[in-house]
Amino acid sequence: MLNRKTSHFLGMRVQSELEHLSELRREAGKDRISVRGSAARTRASVRTQSTAAAAAAAAKADEDPGANLFPPPLPRPQICMWKYLDIHSMHQLEKTTSAEEMRQVLAELLELGCPEQSLRDAITLDLFCHALIFCRQQGFSLEQTSAACALLQDLHKACIATPLGNVEECYRYFTSVLFCHGVRRPPFSIDLFKEEQLLALEDYVVNTYFRHFKLYKYVFTPQVRLDLSLTYMGLQPPKLWPESEMEKEESKEVEEQAVTPQEEELETVAPPEPEPSHVHILRAYIKTQVNKELEELQQLVEEQLKASEERLSSKLTVIERPFQLPPGKGKSKTK
């Protein structure tokens, strides 16, 4: 009898505990659903805010091209055959018989508005006309000419992407794109040019474009100006007087001008009021620190410019130096 009661009591207790556990699981599931929903709403709001911020930054950069002074990353080197001048464009250029006709056809293909009125369009047109003349003199095929013009166009875009100096980065990008057309390794590179043609094209670009790199950057990029404003803590800003006080001051100045000679002598004898010591010390300290920082900045900029010019000149001298065979170790001895 006791066993039956005990087993019945245990069964009722186990059933109540199971019901309690099921209720707890339901509540936990509801909490997870609510937490997931709030997290999803938070992620959606964060994505919306980040997208809006990116769009605002892009719009600001589009409005002011000189606002972002950091140089953008260069594009990845890739094969650029038929990139800007396709086969039909090359056939049109091939049919031209004079330089003036070539300039007209090239201006239409590159969508240059009016080179006679726009200095930038005229410079761009001269750049590609001389490149086409060089390709004809070297006997390049249509594919090689199209690739050479596309390579020069990509180099020019990398140059004018920022007003800051990036001649070394542009030269590395140029050599990388050049090797994409000299080695057979599809799909990354093709053997479009021979070794002699690659060397001739590199010499031409170095002697015509990189020697005038700063001139191209000066013409095609906005001028950078630095507007510096300093605010010092602890100093009161200058107060703007209203018109009534300005009139009172003017009347006082008129009265001071009408003083007697005796008062003028007394004023000349009286020493001027000394400037507060802490303001004088702060002004002298600020002046010395600003001059010191300006001198260090000027010296640093001069050193960087000098080092960059030396590196570029050394690279140009190495490229222009003719290829020389190393001297032999000696004649073979006869037995």
Q: Is residue 61 predicted with pLDDT exceeding 50?
A: no
Q: Is residue 63 predicted with pLDDT exceeding 70?
A: no
Helix, strand and coil content of the chain, in percent to the nearest 5, comes to: 65, 0, 30
Number of H helices, E strands in the chain: 11, 2
In a domain, 268, yes or no: no
Instruction: Supply 252's token pair.
Output: 């006082």
The continuous run of DSSP H or E covering 190 comes out as: strand 189-191
Largest CA distance in the chain: 133
Question: Torsions phi, psi of 304, nearest 5?
Answer: -65, -40
In a domain, 177, yes or no: yes
Task: Give, rounded to a whole angstrom, the gap between the first and last alpha carbons of the chain.
Answer: 126
The residue to which tokens 């369009």 are assigned: 121
Least confident of 183-192, 300-309, 321-330: 321-330
The whole domain housing 183 covers 87-220
Structure-model confidence comparison of residues 273 and 321, the more confident one = 321
Structure-model confidence comparison of residues 293 and 13, the more confident one = 293
In a domain, 324, yes or no: no
CA distance 147 to 150: 5
| Average pLDDT for 288-314 | 90
| Residue 303, C-beta contacts closer than 8 angstroms, at least 6 positions apart | none
In a domain, 208, yes or no: yes
Q: What is the pTM of this model?
A: 0.50
Structurally, how many domains does the chain consist of? 1
Closest by CA position to 84, among listed 168, 188, 156? 156
- In tens, the pLDDT along 192-243 reads 999 999 999 999 999 999 999 999 999 998 887 777 777 777 766 666 556 5
What pLDDT score does 230 carry? 75
Cβ pair 285, 230 in contact under 8 A: no
Cβ burial 241-252 (10 Å sphere, 16+ → b, else e): eeeeeeeeeeee
Instruction: Supply 32's token pair.
Output: 């997870």
Structure-model confidence comparison of residues 154 and 64, the more confident one = 154
In a domain, 169, yes or no: yes
In a domain, 194, yes or no: yes
In a domain, 211, yes or no: yes
- In tens, the pLDDT along 29-55 reads 555 555 455 544 544 443 444 444 444
In a domain, 272, yes or no: no
CA distance 23 to 170: 68
Closest by CA position to 213, among listed 143, 144, 313, 93? 313
Indicate the pLDDT class of residue 162, thresholds 50, 70 and 90.
confident
For residue 238, the number of C-alpha atoms closer than 13 Å in the C-beta half-sphere is 2
